[in-house]
Amino acid sequence: MDSSVSIAPILICLATCFAPSANALTIEKKTTLADQTDVAITIYNSGLALIKDQRTVSLDKGFNHLAFRGVSAKMRAETAMLRSLTHSKGFKVIEQNFDYDLLTPEKLLDKYVGRQVRLVTLNSATGKEKTEKAIVLSTHQGVILKIGNRIKTNPKGQFIFDNIPENLRDQPTLVTQLNSPTSNAQQLELSYLSSGLSWKADYVAELNASDSSIDLLGWVTLNNVSGTDYNNAKLQLVAGDVNQVQEQINFAQRSREMKFSIAADAPPMSEESIFEYHLYGLNRPTSILNNQTKQVSLLTANAIPVTKEFVLNGASYYYSSRQGQLGKKLKVGVYVQLANKKSAGLGMPIPKGIVRVYKKDSHGNAQFIGEDKVDHTPKNEIIRLKLGDAFDVTANKKQTAFSKQKHILPGRNAFESTFEIELKNAKSEAVTVTVREPIPADWKMIRESHPHQKVDAGTAEWKIKIPAEGSTLLTYRVLVEY
């Protein structure tokens, strides 16, 4: 008994033509990407795509078996709709099947469990080949054959198969049974939803020397792992959160090396509103090949005014208990914000994505200074980006007094706390730091060294100017009632 652990390369020899007929009476007709006259793709933020594939196809008048080849391997078959654009009257789809179990030597052998194959082995001493009939008993964790009265495991050699099972194909195929009203060539359109196609927006911004404006470049990054090519496609992208019913859909996950291409000279994309979303259209056809990542231009804007802000954010937990020291050399966040307005050089709906910001050093080399996510942003709204924490601007913070006060209502609590925040600036120019404190429950400022602004019901905010290479002390006492 031969019990070698690996299977030798399998040579598939076919006694019949590659794709079998659907039955003995009706020959299966095929349409491939070579018949395609038009393809349109709409890709959503959620990794869902709507495909509209038009092809010129000749059918028999009456009943037909049609194999629609070159469709997405991740098609949601329940969404597929095939129609005739030129002969709609009398055109009717009776049944459709999505065959995505693809042809491999292993899958072919799996389909022959319980069936007869031929095993060809080579005698290394004589150089002669020997062919034996065998029954495939199992392919689980290895191959088990019955040859005559013998059982062999993992035999060395080549397998010969008589044909290919109907539901095993070399590429994903939608197989339909339909009635056609004519034998003349007609224009068919297959539309369906599919995963495997996705897009995202990425932005590159360069901050000027004075931190007062940026140049912004927006890219759309397309990714295709759907299992097929889309040649000269009309491309549209939907930005917005489209609701989908969550279903458990199992697709084969295959990791492949991605090709990468950049369409750097592409014109800007057009934009329009649709329902409660925004639709972006590429103003030219583009090809998105399987296993390809492609970038196309979304927007370009120069000298957009920005404001830079240093922010020290507090917390609400220390207003109801004794704390003491709350931190030394606390980080002060650095933000830039810009207005998405036409007057500022933008004024268009901005799809969500990551903004990466650069600034040139004294030698003219652009250096990365931070990145942040931006959500879907309508026009005339503010975009605010956190780029990091300041190196030269820090804070020391402590609670200097705490006492429990008598509340006017029984069973409720009141506390008075005094805080001291020392803001330090090691830079050679003065800066202004926004101190933002979330104060819980009902509160009242008793006294303070600098005037605050009550920006909302639970937040006090101070704008503190710190001199160059100096420091400023903010103190305040607050009453909190629970």
More confident residue, 250 or 368: 368
- 322-333 confidence digits (pLDDT tens): 999 999 999 999
On whether the CB atoms of residues 24 and 16 are closer than 8 A, the answer is no
User: What's at 429, amino acid-wise?
Assistant: E
Q: Which residues, 6+ apart, have CB-to-CB distance to 250 below 8 Å?
A: none
Would you say residue 13 has pLDDT above 70?
no
Average model confidence (pLDDT) across the chain: 87
What is d(CA 298, CA 305) in angstroms, rounded to the nearest whole number? 20
Helix (H, G, I), strand (E, B) or coil at 218: strand
Q: Are 149 and 170 in contact (CB under 8 A)?
A: no
First to last CA, the chain: 83
Angle at 360 between CA 394 and CA 387, to 5 degrees: 40
Find where tokens 């018949």 sit.
Answer: 35
Residue 367 has pLDDT above 80, yes or no: yes
CATH of domain 307-336+386-481: 2.60.40
Provide long-range contacts, Cβ within 8 A and 24+ apart, for 94-97.
Answer: 94/176, 94/177, 94/178, 94/179, 95/176, 95/177, 96/174, 96/175, 96/176, 96/177, 97/167, 97/174, 97/175, 97/176
Q: Which residues pair with 335 in a beta bridge?
A: 309, 386
The rounded radius of gyration (Å) of the Cα atoms in the chain is: 34
Least confident of 241-245, 284-288, 388-392, 401-405: 241-245
pLDDT of residue 268: 57
**Residue 33, SS3?**
helix
Does residue 261 register a pLDDT over 50?
A: no
**DSSP symbol at 105:** H
pLDDT value of residue 167: 67
Per-position DSSP letters for 374-421, written without gaps between them: E--B-TT-EEEEEEEEEEEEEEEEEEEEEEEE--SSTT--EEEEEEEE
Dist CA 317 CA 326 (whole Å): 11
354 falls in which pLDDT band (50, 70, 90)? Answer: very high
**pTM for this model (two decimals):** 0.70
**Cα dihedral 187→190→196→202 (10° resolution):** 60
Residue 293 pLDDT level (bands cut at 50, 70, 90)? very high
Q: So what's the pLDDT on residue 25?
A: 55
How distant, in Å, are the alpha carbons of 36, 77, 86, 273, 444 from that of 71?
A: 11, 11, 21, 29, 66
Can you give the pLDDT at residue 26?
67
259 CB-side CA count, 13 A: 12
Of the listed ranges 34-43, 161-170, 301-310, 388-397, the one predicted with least confidence: 161-170
- CA distances from residue 425 to 121, 237, 419, 470 in whole angstroms, order as listed: 82, 46, 20, 5
Give 217-228 pLDDT, tens digit per residue.
999 999 999 999
CA angle at 407 for the pair 402 and 409, rounded to the nearest 5°:
160
Contacts of 317 (CB under 8 A, 6+ apart): none
User: Is the pLDDT score of 254 beyond 90?
Assistant: no
Which of residues 265 and 477 earns the better pLDDT score?
Answer: 477
Rounded Cα–Cα distance for residues 241 and 47 (Å): 11
- Contact yes or no for 127/134 (Cβ under 8 A): no
What is the structure's pLDDT at 246? Answer: 55
Q: Check residues 135 and 280 and name the one with the higher pLDDT.
A: 135
* Domain-wise residue ranges, the chain: 1-195, 307-336+386-481
Answer whether residue 9 shows pLDDT above 70.
Answer: no
Q: Which of the 8 DSSP states describes residue 320?
A: S
Is residue 189 within 8 Å of 151, Cβ to Cβ? no
